[in-house]
Amino acid sequence: MASVLNTASSIRLSRPNTIRSQSQQAMAPLSVSFARRRLMVRAAETDTNEAVQSQAPDKAPAKNGSNFNQLLGIKGAALETNKWKIRLQLTKPVTWPPLVWGVVCGAAASGNFHWTFEDVAKSIVCMIMSGPCLTGYTQTINDWYDRDIDAINEPYRPIPSGAISESEVISQIWVLLLAGLGLAGLLDVWAGHDFPTLFYLALGGSLLSYIYSAPPLKLKQNGWIGNFALGASYISLPWWAGQALFGTLTPDIIVLTLLYSIAGLGIAIVNDFKSVEGDRAMGLQSLPVAFGAETAKWICVGAIDITQISVAGYLLGAGKPYYALALLALIIPQVVFQFQYFLKDPVKYDVKYQASAQPFLVLGLLVTALATSH
C-alpha cells in the first residue's frame, strides 16, 4: 500500500521586472501566484538553456530523452505534450513494483493464499489499489509539493515546466486517492471482514503520504523520520494489506516488517543524493545534506545490510536455518553491487545500483514471508 514517496517547499526563482508592494503581494490569489511561478520557471529554462546543458547535463531539458523513461516517470524522460502520458509520468510507474511485491509477500506470509481464480483476482485488485492508485497518489502529491525544489533539481519535470496545470494535478490526486480507498473498501467486503482492516490501512497510508510531503509536518524535512516513513510505506503497508486480505495480521509480523522498513530507509537514502543541491537550498535535512555524502553512503548501506542480517538471525533463532541461510546468500550480491556501484558514486550509478541490487532484497522479502507462513 503506497504511501510515500519526496518533498516540497517554496523558492523565489526569479524577480518580475516591476516590484509590487507588499500589500499587493498579500492580496494576490494563490492560483495567480502559482501561474506566475510556473511561467518564471519556464522563462528561466529558456534563458539559461545553454548554460544548464554545459554545466549540468542531468538538469537539461530532455529533448532527446527516452519515451520509455517518460512512461516510467524516471530521469532521462522525453518531453511530452500528451496529457495522459504526462499524468502517467506523474504517478511514476517505476515505483509500483515494490508495492505489488509487498502484497505478494503478505499473501505468502498468510499461509492461506491458493491458486484459485478468486484468490488471484483478490490479489490483483489489492495490487492495483497499492500500486497504480495509492502509490500513484503518493507520487503525484509529492511532485506537487516538490514543484519548487524540482525547479532546481529537475526543471523539465511536468509540474515545474508547466506541461500540466494546477487544476489537472489536483484532480489527479483526488481521483487516485478515492479510487484507492474505494478498492480497499471493496476488498474488505469481498474478504468478509467484520472490521474494515484494508480500508483503514489504505487511509492510514494515504495520510502518511500526505504528511510526508505536505506542510506543516512535512516528514521529509527530517532525513531519519522521513526515510523511515517511506520505507514503511513501501515494505510494511503492502505486506500488511496482502496478509490481512488472506489471513490475520499478527503482532510479530508487524514488528518484523517494521524492522525490515529500516532497510527501506536505506533504499530511500539512495534517492536523496541526486537532490542534495535543491534540498540544501530549501533547508531540508536529508542525510546527505546533514552528514555529507561520504558518511551518508555508509549509513545507507549499513541500514540495508544490517537489517537483513538481523532478520536472518531472527529466522535462525526461530528454528528456520534454511530460510536464514537463503536470506544471507541473497545479501552477498547486494554487498558486491554496493562496492561496485553505489559506494563509488551514488549519483552516477544510482540507477545501475538499484537495478542490480534491489532484486536480491525483494527476493529476501519473499524468503522471509515464506518462512513466517510455516
Q: Residue 77's pLDDT is what?
A: 75
Instruction: Please give the residue range of the domain that contains residue 190.
Output: 69-372
Q: Residue 65's pLDDT is what?
A: 67
In a domain, 233, yes or no: yes
In a domain, 150, yes or no: yes
- Total domains, the chain: 1
In a domain, 13, yes or no: no
In a domain, 25, yes or no: no
In a domain, 167, yes or no: yes
Q: Residue 69's pLDDT is what?
A: 74
Q: Residue 374's pLDDT is what?
A: 72
Segment 186-237, tens digit of pLDDT: 999 999 999 999 999 999 999 999 999 999 989 988 889 999 999 999 999 9
Q: Residue 67's pLDDT is what?
A: 79
Give the per-residue SS3 of the chain: CCCCCCCCCCCCCCCCCCCCCHHHHHHCCHHHHHHHHHHHHHHHHHHCHHHHHHHCHHHCCCCCCEHHHHHHCCCCECCCCCHHHHHHHHCCHHHHHHHHHHHHHHHHHHCCCCCCHHHHHHHHHHHHHHHHHHHHHHHHHHHHHCHHHHHHHCCCCHHHHCCCCHHHHHHHHHHHHHHHHHHHHHHHHHHCCCCCHHHHHHHHHHHHHHHHHCCCCCHHHEHHHHHHHHHHHHCHHHHHHHHHHHCCCCHHHHHHHHHHHHHHHHHHHHHHHHHHHHHHHHCCECHHHHHCHHHHHHHHHHHHHHHHHHHHHHHHHCCCHHHHHHHHHHHHHHHHHHHHHHCCCCCCCHHHHHHHHHHHHHHHHHHHHHHHCC
Average pLDDT for runs of 10 along the chain of length 374: 40 37 40 36 38 42 65 73 90 91 96 96 98 96 90 85 93 98 98 96 96 92 91 94 95 92 92 84 87 94 96 94 97 97 92 91 95 87
Q: Residue 221's pLDDT is what?
A: 87
Threshold 0.85, pTM exceeds: no
In a domain, 22, yes or no: no
In a domain, 26, yes or no: no
In a domain, 30, yes or no: no
Q: Residue 20's pLDDT is what?
A: 40
